[in-house]
Amino acid sequence: MTSHSPIKFAVAGQGHIGKRHAEMIRRNPEAQLIAVCDVLPAATTQPNAINEHYYTSIEEMLAAHPDIQVVNVCTPNGLHAEHAVKALAAGMHVVCEKPMALSKADCESVIHQALQASRNVFCVMQNRYSPPSVWLKELVEKKIIGDVYMVQLNCYWNRDDRYYKKGNWKGTQNLDGGTLFTQFSHWIDLLYWIFGDLDQVQAKFADFNHGSLTEFEDSGFVSFNFLNGGMGCINYSTAVWDKNLESSISLVGSKGSVKVGGQYMDKVEYCHIENYTMPQLAETAPANDYGAYKGSANNHHFVIENVIDTLKGRTSITTNALEGLKVVDIIERIYALRQPNRKQ
């Protein structure tokens, strides 16, 4: 491969997220989309004609195109680890949508295979690219806000029968995994990325209005200490009526306080820090109802750029496999506090 050669991609899964990955690859001049696959036939997932080869199994796709360099795994959550391992075993790099897996053990199996094959695993946590997130990390990392005292993460979204369709994988324990995995793992990743790991976790869960829709809770309160100092909480729900309310982080430090809010944590709502003038942040693109930025402003294009730049030796991975594992580890530790054999 020369520095001018396009990176050859394939996408496993052609649901909402898989189609977005495919489109971001098509738009990148240094990328070439070779093939896509989905368990559903092309006529179902691709009503319009596509230029790429289409397969109904990842095994068939990998065998037909050994020249693929990167496989984007965009299948249901519970299949991420299995499909990542198969792509790695075939000698390909992997881009894995969130969450990396539904257990720490499965994440470790992916990392083991990546080490065996000397291949990279890129975990998709595209919210790290948003200007408010980058700004928050700088405030904490450079101690601009001083010592961290308290952090509150609020995630209040609507997910009702318009989202949880009968017969779909969403809402099932084995393929979806739970609200924290599917809806809010991005925000837990931001907590970990900005503030570090959690300790002394306590939690309370409830299922208010998803009894006939999902196999798990729709709401929860989680409290904890940060290993790096300070304490925090996560308050979350998908039981909000009709439409999303907010995703926000409030931070109280020894030198000031800030709040980043909006539906998708895309607006700085409060900033009061000693001897500090807030800079003008780059404008954040409008978001749709699933927290994804529209069109060319979609943050997923940064993920594809990072893959290409890393493989061409220009930079390093934005979110590596160990970071993906840590997010799964944190969620797994929270969910371990659910009462066994009972839907909370």
Checking if the pLDDT of 292 tops 90, the result is no
Work out the number of other CB atoms within 10 angstroms of the CB of residue 286. 12
Q: pLDDT tens digits, residue range 66-106?
A: 999 999 999 999 999 999 999 999 999 999 999 999 999 99
The closest of 128, 94, 124 to 109, measured between CA atoms, is: 94
pLDDT in tens, 8-50: 999 999 999 999 999 999 999 999 999 999 999 888 888 766 7
Q: Please state whether beta strands 148-156 and 53-55 pair in parallel, antiparallel, or not at all (unpaired).
A: unpaired
- The residues, ordered by sequence, that sit 6+ positions from 57 with a Cβ below 8 Å of its Cβ are 37, 39
Span 204-229, mean pLDDT? 97
232-254 residue pLDDT tens: 999 999 999 999 999 999 999 99
Mean pLDDT for 318-329 is 97
How far apart are alpha carbons 164 and 285 in whole angstroms? Answer: 27
pTM: 0.93
The one-character DSSP state at 172 is -
CA distance linking residue 304 with residue 27, whole number of Å: 10
53-55, strands of its sheet edge to edge = 53-55, 31-37, 7-12, 70-73, 93-96, 121-123
3-state helix, strand, coil in the chain (%, to 5): 30, 25, 45
Quick one: which H or E segment has residue 136? helix 131-141
Query: What does DSSP say about strands 231-237 and 148-156: parallel, antiparallel, or unpaired?
Result: parallel
129-273: which CATH architecture?
2-Layer Sandwich (3.30)
Give the start-to-end residue ranges of the domains of the chain.
7-123+299-318, 129-273
Q: Any residues with CB less than 8 A from the CB of 157 and at least 6 apart, and which?
A: 183, 237, 238, 240, 244, 245, 247
For residue 319, give both structure tokens: 């979110």
CATH architecture of 7-123+299-318: 3-Layer(aba) Sandwich (3.40)
